[in-house]
Structures are given as C-alpha cells and as structure tokens.
Amino acid sequence: MKEPPRRALPRRPCPLDTDTIQRTIDRALAADHTTRYSDLAELEALLRGHINLMLPPARARAGTVAYARLNTAAGQLAYGLGDTLRSARRHVLLLALDCRWLLRVLAPGRQP
C-alpha cells in the first residue's frame, strides 16, 4: 500500500534570546585596554555563536535587508582574534557591531 505524501511542517523561526545577545554586545562594546585576552576570547566565542544563529534568518530576508552588510557580518567570522590585545579588541568590536546590526534587523522593535 502506498503511503500518503507527507506534508512539510511549517518552519518556525528559532526565538532569539535578545536580552542575552544585547548583554553580550554591551560587554563587547565596553571592552577597553584593561580587558584581558581571555575575556576577549570568551566574548568572541559568544558573538560568533549569536551571529551564526542570526545569519540564516537574516539571509532569508535578503530582499528586505542590505545584503552586502550580511556578507560583511559573515566574512568577519573568517578572522580570528590575532596575537595582540589590540587586534583582539578590534575584532571583538567589529563582531559586536555586526551582531548589533543583525539584532536590529531581526528584532526591529528593539532599540539597544
């Protein structure tokens, strides 16, 4: 007996924990010359996770957001912290700015 065709379940977007993402962004933007490299590495890992979570739904809205900006955010993930505190702070800052932009795209009512 032939099985009836299966209907695909509608994909529900994964709800974003916007408060956690915003706290990470705030911590990253507050990083200064006194921030330890290990703290910057932790922030980088958190920001990477947030960006990786937000890129797919943002890409799904490619017709409604600046697609070049999505590529910039995705491209930033290809780089690491570097060997110096200065390069690590700069990289974390860039990831935080990308993360903030993605959060604004995906949660437009929320203004950090």
DSSP, residue by residue, 66-96: -HHHHHHHHHHTT----SSHHHHHHHHHHHH
Measuring CA to CA, which residue among 77, 111, 107 is closest to residue 94?
77
Rounded CA separation 23/63 (Å)? 29
pLDDT, residue 71, reads 83
Spell out, as residue ranges, where the chain has pLDDT lower than 50. Answer: 8-12, 112
What lies within 8 Å, CB to CB, of 74 at 6+ separation is 51, 55
Record the tokens describing residue 105, joined without a space: 């795209």
pTM for the model: 0.78
Q: What is the pLDDT of residue 57?
A: 87
Predicted confidence at residue 9, as pLDDT, reads 42
Amino acid letter for position 112? P
Give the type of residue at 39.
Answer: D
**105 in Cβ contact with 72 (< 8 Å):** no
Q: What tokens does 53 get?
A: 């979570």
